[in-house]
Structure 1
Amino acid sequence: MLPLALAGKDVQACAETGSGKTLAYLLPILEKLLATDAPNASTRALILVPTRELARQVYKMAKHFCDLTSLNAGLLTGGDDFKYQASMLRKNPEILVSTTGRLVDHLKRDTADLSDLEFLVLDEADRMLDMGFAEDMELIVGRSSTQRQTFMLSATLRHEGIGRIARSMLREPEEITTQMVHEEHEYIRQQRILADDNAHKDRLLVWLLANETYDKAVIFVNKRVEVDRLNDFLRRHRNGIAMLHGEMTQDERNYVMQSLREGKRNILVATDVAARGLDVEGMDLVINYDLARKGDEYVHRIGRTGRAGKEGLAISLIAPHEWNLKASIERYLQQRMEEREIAELKGSYKGPKKVKGSGKAVGKKKPKAKADKKVAGKKPVAKSDKKKLGPRPSRPKSAAENKGTLMDSEGFAPIKRKKT
């Protein structure tokens, strides 16, 4: 990517999590900004990211390099004081790292100016589309200079909206794919353990945290209420538990991240807000308590470990209702998760049953349709009409009746005659 960026090309890149995408776009931007002096310009480079955690991570790296030069970097995220951010923007930092929603707030209030923008970076573009920021991204691009250079990056660019966004925002982009999905994360062991229900998952989780070897671990769930429940549950069994979800204040989120980095906490229970932008050294165990809803989210989750060539372990706890989701993720990855069973905590669920030779799972049998009691050639009689018809006329006894056997009116199966 470096040669293309330095040559002034727009770039659409898909690369493995932790492979150095941030440096790949940050270094060319810094070099070009330093090569051209523009003292009266407003913000010259904008880096858009989907989450506050990723914004702080990118800002930290950008500020580190800017401190070695005459350039300045600024940060815009939700949860921070708006007036303070407006004051920072009036100083026209050359590089601005921002979440999408907060930048739109500043643009609508005319406290941000992108008319002199030379570089636009969409980091984790697919995630911003998933979070419903497509319109915000279009608004930001519309306020930006048309003479800019644009980079669109992610670990997974297989989003149905990526093509449309790329065509509208990039000019004759060069596409880069370092690895296919099934070739990514070669340093991460992916395992799956079958579980009967959440109570079984709780026991498995406690066992794994007690018996696996790790420096730090992250446990992913799909709902905020489940983060709260697991946080309370695990605190009864272990120390060093922290939690992270989107409803927490910025100060709370900063405190959690700082605690993890300093080693005061070593186990994090989180929603997908931590799937991107969580770069904590020593994060070598990922547990999917709830399986990710999509393949690309699964990729980002397990990408929290096995970074920069280090080995990691990702374990998914699979309940019966998650089997089909697991299968779709394996098809997306084009690889299977390693089967694992904990002897002390074997469950009754062993996966879907299969028909011999067919390979198809057997589900519950559909209830048989009720037999149609209508007789061919006869019209049904309404209840209201039955009284009008009166009693059934008597008929002479047949020979079968005299022998103690009664045939029904249509000559079907014999019915035993009741003794009086």
Structure 2
Amino acid sequence: MFSQLGLDPRLIKALEAQTITEPTEVQAAVMPVAMSGKDLLVMSETGSGKTLSFLLPLVQQLLTAEIPRTAGTLALIMAPTRELAKQLLKETKQMLKFTHLKVGIVSGGDDYKFQAAQLRKNPEILIATPGRLLEHFNRNLPAMDDLQVLVLDEADRMLDMGFHDDMVAIAAKLGTERRTWLFSATLSHAGVGTLAGQLTREPERISLSTGRQTQANILQQVILSDGQNHKQKAITQLLKTRDFEQALVFTNTRVQADHLCQYLRAQEIKTGAVHGDMTQDDRNKVMELMRKGHVKVLVATDVAARGIDIGGIELVINYDMARNGDDYTHRIGRTGRAGADGHAISFITPQEWNLKAGVERYLNTRFEIIAIPGFESRYNGPEKVKASGKAAGPKKADKKAAQERAAKKKAKDSKVKVRDRDQKNIGKRRQPKDVPNIGDGFAPAKIARKLAPDSKEAD
């Protein structure tokens, strides 16, 4: 129970207003440590309830601390995308509903002057994306010397987006006595440990998953495909025949997201798309249409999908296979949230088989291969597959034949080519270069003198 964690009654009231009564695993593990005053390094899966795990102790600290009225911003929450920042803003407002604390937001896509005006009001909690916040610091935003808590939400994704230097630069503008809580879906990311070493001091490490464990409540399947045309027809049939409320489809590029969205719309499937090339207003319109049920299928790229606040996604489709295990884990984490059953399907072409195999090895699992009736693929995986699932090498006889062919070719290439003109000259003595031929107008005596330079005439 949250009441047993010593939370302020105003926070308990805010939780009850959202019908939240029991803490999740990550909340129960993180909150006592966070409230003890330590730095944190937390690994938790997407959809595990990690937002409240840092939001509740953060607000609790601000409610109980003696803070001067002249103090500036006291807590900074950094997020990789504006979508996630807006989701955090929504959840923070719900938790502050019965308090006097204020929250502001700074992210790309919104009016800069309006944000600057909000910052001058010194909200106790600020939610920001790294790029836009650093822009404010580089112009005229004063250093946040009063800051007590820095939260890095989805730190691994911010690193993937190239925000390492921005985060370090921002940290230099913050109070030195602050606490730093770093949250990541995986701690195996090469840069997470480095960033934690730069920004935290003896952090408490809390790992609630290995980062390679798949969610047991998510059914994970694979549909083999011959190519893009076959993929398009198969996904159309899948979406038309499968019973679901909402589906999230992932592509690896913005161009592919737009193309697939237009194709599905032409097949009379209610589809929308979100990606980095869209304006914030356009993104907001698509998300609002989806929340109202006017869009049933959302096509998105990895970055754009981060922070999407949509409940009830029953089906995640990897139209393009994720490039690595971490991205795959992030994708399928959009379904099966809060213990609900989820379903993830990946379309695999011959070119994507190795990606699939790599993700399976990373997650230490094996995906079930299924087919759509009437849309079966001619491609059934590598021709020769060992029991372990790895492609088998050529037979020994084939190897021996290949070695013999290579040896013959090498012997043939090493032979000296014999020309007819060389055969004609066999046995003939070659004249020295500096000796003229007889018959070229030279007398024998002159030749003798040339060959005997120590003769008297030569002297």
Same fold (TM over 0.5): yes
Flag the 1:313–1:8 CA change in 2: closer, same or farther, 3 A: same
Match of 2:173 in 1: 143
Q: Does 1:117 align with 2:147?
A: yes
Q: Deviations over 1:332-385 (max 9, x none)?
A: 111111221122111111011226778652579998657246587x6445x8xx
Q: In the aligned structure 1, how far is the partner of 2:165 from the partner of 2:373?
A: 51
Q: Is the Cα–Cα contact under 8 Å of residues 240 and 264 in structure 1 kept in the other structure?
A: yes
Local SS of the residue matching 1:147: coil
User: Is 1:3 equivalent to 2:41 in the alignment?
Assistant: no
Q: SS at 1:175's partner residue?
A: strand
Structure 2 unmatched runs, 5+: 1-29, 428-459
Deviation at 1:66, TM superposition (A): 2.2
- Counterpart in the other structure of 1:68: 98
Query: What SS does structure 2 have at the residue aligned with 1:344?
Result: coil
Q: What is the aligned partner in structure 2 of residue 89 from structure 1? A: 119
Equivalent in 108, 133, 136 of residue 163 of structure 2: 133
CA distance, structure 2, for counterparts of residue 241 and residue 15 of structure 1: 31
User: 1:143 and 1:214 mapped to 2: Cα distance?
Assistant: 47
Distance 1:226 1:95 in 2: 38
Alignment check: 8 A CA contact 1:374 1:380 kept:
no
Which residue matches 2:359? 329
Note the C-alpha offset of 1:45: 0.4
Find the partner of 1:192 among 209, 212, 222: 222
Deviations 1:160-208 (A, max 9, x none): 1111111111111111111233444221111011111011111110011
SS at structure 1 position matched to 2:146? coil
TM-score (norm 1): 0.87
CA distance in 1, matches of 2:266, 2:126: 43
1:265 and 2:295 are equivalent in the alignment: yes
- For 2:273 and 2:153, how far apart are their aligned partners in 1? 25
What is the distance in 2 between the residues matched to 1:379 and 1:292?
Answer: 54
Task: Report which of the two structures shows the higher radius of gyration computed on alpha carbons.
Answer: 2
Residue 409 of structure 2 corresponds to residue 371 of structure 1: yes
Alignment of 1:3-42 (within 5 A): 3-36=32-65, 37-42=67-72
2:244 to 203, 208, 214: 214
- Residue 103 of structure 1 contacts residue 112 of structure 1 at CA under 8 Å; is this kept in 2? no
- CA shift, 1:38, in A, is 2.9
Q: Secondary structure at the match of 2:366?
A: coil
CA distance in 2, matches of 1:103, 1:323: 41
Q: 1:156 aligns with which of 158, 179, 186?
A: 186
CA distance in 1, matches of 2:413, 2:56: 84
Q: Distance in 1 between matches of 2:46 and 2:325?
A: 14
Alpha-carbon distance between aligned partners in 1 of 2:64 and 2:377, rounded to the nearest angstrom? 64
Q: Secondary structure at the match of 2:99?
A: coil
- The answer to whether the aligner puts 1:301 opposite 2:327 as a matched pair is no
Q: Is the 8 A contact 1:43 1:113 kept in 2?
A: no
The letter for the 1-side match of 2:332 is I
1:229 aligns with 2:267: no
| One-letter amino acid matched to 2:40 | V
Aligned residue for 1:143, secondary structure, equals coil
- Partner of 1:413 in structure 2? none
Higher fraction of helix: 2
CA shift digits 1:199-228 (9 cap, x unpaired): 111111001101111111011000111011
Distance 2:348 2:385 in 1: 22
TM-superposed deviation, 1:65: 2.0
| Mapped partners of 1:336, 1:360: distance in 2 | 12
Number of equivalenced pairs: 389
Deviations 1:307-332 (A, max 9, x none): 11111110000111111111111111
TM-score by length of 2: 0.80
* Structure 1 CA distance for aligned equivalents of residues 216 and 387 of structure 2: 33
Alignment check: 8 A CA contact 1:279 1:304 kept: no
CA distance in 1, matches of 2:390, 2:364: 19
Q: How does 1:252-291 map to 2 (within 5 A)?
A: 252-291=282-321
> C-alpha distance in 1, partners of 2:106/2:242?
39
Is contact 2:188–2:211 with CA below 8 Å preserved after alignment?
Answer: no
Aligned to 1:317: 347
Q: Give every structure 1 segment of 4 or more consecutive aligned residues whose post-TM-superposition deviation is greater than 3 Å.
A: 181-184, 355-360, 362-370, 372-376, 378-381, 386-393
The 8 Å contact of residues 72 and 147 in structure 2, kept in 1 or not, is answered as yes
Residue 333 to residue 112, structure 1, CA distance change in 2 (3 Å) = farther
